[in-house]
Structure 1
Amino acid sequence: MNSEIPEVVDGNGECLGLPDHFLNIPLTALRCSVNRVVALHLNNPSDVVDQETGYVNDYNGLAEFVGFTYLETEHFGRQESPTEELLEEWKTRDDLAPSTIGKLWEGLYILNRFDIMKDCQLGIVKDVESYQKNREREQDLMQPRKSNEASQRSDCPAEKKENLCKQDIESKTPQFFDAFVSYNDEGKDLSFVKNMIQILEGEPHKLKLYIPGRDGLPGAAKYVTEAKLIESRCRRMVIILSNDYLQSSACDFQSKFAHALSPGKYELQ
């Protein structure tokens, strides 16, 4: 642990620390399951105030620790899950405490919420390991590939990069996306998707979405290309579920392929 977060040991002598290199990992590395565990604890209103720090040990205290204003905290309190709203807003703000796992861990420690730290410790470790593996895979994909023979022969051209979408061609480098949007582009869902794109790709979210029908290459082998994008270029999948979606063979392929990669990787939210 760093100097701001002393090593924590619960009543059973169990260490509740995290490896130092975890502390600067962004909160976006955590999946919904960890956020929900934190929310299940902090959503419950509390009258317990730490005499040293002055923080209430529920979501109000975490909001104050992070730097949210009183009015913003009141807004969170009117939501179905105040803590999850707080965490999502925190990720998008540059004027607050850094939205890192280390800062969240420090906040839980200051609020004396060792119960949450214990319940989330294993989940955080698994999520960070998965996040780091995905980052390493992305970095590997970004590196130019050369065979052993090519590295020994100056007259042998470098291996051609595979273009999977329009952005690959425009930027001349493989592009990665926050999410693959799975929807029936031949049904009535197109107008909904267009509105969603404006919201998620605009301020303040600025997400990078892969939209079939907009970003695909003409003439490409559709299923093969989309499978490669889902597996190696997209962090998440967003499914626009509707009656039209259920009638689409392409959508059926996309969702089943994503789930087959890892049953726990793509969660229904």
Structure 2
Amino acid sequence: MACAESDVDLCSVPLVALNVRVRKKLGLYLNPKHTVAADWMAVAETMGFSYLEIKNYEACKDPTKTVLENWQARTADASVGKLLSILKEVERNDVVEDLRPLIDDDVRKYCESLKKQAEPPVQVHEVDSCVPRTPERFGLTTEDDPEGAPEMFDAFICYCPSDFEFVHEMIRELEQTDYKLKLCVFDRNVLPGSCVWTITSELIEKRCKRMVVVISDEYLDSDACDFQTKFALSLCPGARSKRLIPVVYKAMKKPFPSILRFLTVCDYTRPCTQAWFWIRLAKALSLP
């Protein structure tokens, strides 16, 4: 991706570059229903969302935020440039003009983080392990507010990229319904630019009450899922509230992971219990 300081191709900058302040301000502009100016519904329709999807988003506290997150998760070309193009298409040039300085600032920071990742690590002569660590890390997720409390979640979702379609269904059933749960989905909620293992352990241990493990044959081959599961298990019994909930949503050819055999499984593959699947899972995640 071209990220030259003087001329950035905004169509190549993914939507994840936009931080929480821009997303909140977009909601302030687009959430109110206008009789003249286009609101979030017009933006969602231009993004390709169906009538039924838009009607369901009406129940959300911040429909603009929900539309942006779902568009970002399901559309490969969801970019900053595409968003600005859509706002202009629905004739909300006022939003583009007012937010452009903030958007440019977020894009600059995103490009700088990419450059830092590409630079070779700096070698130091010695490392003092006695230096106290920061008690709480900020700026990990899209909704983190540097001047407020860190973003918290009901559950961390451990999954493989090949299982993302089911994760989308989980988001629809648990977040966009009366359950109103808040899920931590790495590809949707986590900002780029930091160590994957550090962010993951921080979220599981300090930001999420539970962890849902989406079990599949691909899960068994994933180093990332293996790390997340074992790390969450290591919190027990000292942190029993970090309960793991294994979920099976499709038939498996490989044996069920032995490390999770002692836990009660939420099984979506049994037709006779599918009607209760989301109710049971939502209740488990809603417990204090």
TM-score, length of structure 2 as denominator length: 0.45
